[in-house]
Amino acid sequence: MTLTINSTLTLANSMKMPIFGLGTYLLTGNLGQKAIEFALKIGYRLIDTATLYKNEKIVGNALRNSKIPRKEVFITSKVWNSDQGYSRTINAFNKSLSNLGVDYMDLYLIHWPVDGKWKDTWQALEELYNKGKVRAIGVSNFYINHLAKLLQIASIKPMVNQIEFHPFLYKKDVLEFCQEKGIVIESYAPLTHGYKFKDVKSPQFLQMMEKYNKSAAQLMLRWNIQHGTVIIPKSIKPTHIRENADIFDFSISDDDIQLLNSINEDFHSDWDPSD
Ligand SMILES: NC(=O)c1ccc[n+]([C@@H]2O[C@H](COP(=O)([O-])OP(=O)(O)OC[C@H]3O[C@@H](n4cnc5c(N)ncnc54)[C@H](OP(=O)(O)O)[C@@H]3O)[C@@H](O)[C@H]2O)c1
């Protein structure tokens, strides 16, 4: 099937989720808002934010300035660790809605599996979902051990698991576990947070860039979506925002996908959830 910037995946509750969007970690202030507005202008339809990023207000401003109908943009936010627990999560969610200036969220995630808290937090997410305040609920940074415990107590299964995922951190076990359970993987730091750009200038990678006439960033992003994931690359620069979206006119061959799978080195640009 041909993928486009408008392609969607179907979540376990039959809701459609765009496979491509903008990450917003470190996008703040006027420049951050302009970057989000630019992304929406050129066709991005998913914006990933979190309480932690302190930018929900500018995400809401960008959405309103874009004049794109609310229902056409998929907004994700996350409950931060210090806000976890049942009542605190409900309060944090309502604050996020108010910061964003919207009356529902498309996806709300538990940012990290905080010991002793995540069960109550999940109960709060289920309640928000049952009340129709959020259209889908999920988790982030949950590996198989966390997911197995959550699946034992959940009345509603998580629909999405947002984890760090790129060729240098090919979490095949988590991907396969989630696919089997009907949980969509959303890849954060799909560009390794920028850390691995020098390393990808290896002869093999350079050859592939030449073969496909694409940049290292574009190859990494395309590798990701060909694994059936959702990607949320972040950039503040219009040139990069445009370049990252220009990955729907080519396809990486199966052999080259295997080659990219093999460069995995369990590199985490963020904390490792198994620690
Ligand atoms: N759930 C979680 O725990 C979690 C953790 C981390 C991230 N996230 C989410 O995932 C999103 C993406 O991850 P991330 O922001 O950490 O890292 P990323 O998207 O992997 O990489 C962003 C870095 O790459 C650079 N970049 C972007 N496009 C580029 C291009 N075409 N060529 C060269 N450099 C490029 C950016 O610089 P410029 O801005 O200068 O272009 C920035 O330094 C976040 O923004 C956030 O929404 C979630």
Q: Which residues of the chain have pLDDT under 50?
A: none
pLDDT at 275: 83
pLDDT tens digits for range 64-111: 999 999 999 999 999 999 999 999 999 999 999 999 999 999 999 999
Note if 53 is an active site residue. Answer: yes
Beta strand residue intervals within the chain, DSSP E: 8-10, 16-18, 22-23, 46-48, 74-79, 105-110, 134-140, 160-164, 184-188, 230-231
pLDDT at 197: 72
> Ligand 1 pocket, 216 CB below 6 A?
no
User: Are 17 and 11 in contact, with CB atoms under 8 Å apart?
Assistant: yes
The structural domains of the chain, ordered by start, are: 8-261 (3.20.20.100)
d(CA 47, CA 41): 13
Query: Which residue's alpha carbon is nearest to atom 4 within ligand 1?
Result: 188
Candidates 138, 208, 206, 198; CA nearest to 168 is 198
> Ligand 1 pocket, 37 CB below 6 A?
no
> Which of 20, 25, 169, 199, when mutated, tests ligand 1's pocket best, judged by the most ligand atoms within 8 Å of its CB?
25
User: Are 79 and 56 in contact, with CB atoms under 8 Å apart?
Assistant: no
pLDDT at 196: 86
Q: Do you know the residue count of the chain?
A: 275
pLDDT at 274: 93
Whether the model pTM is above 0.85 = yes
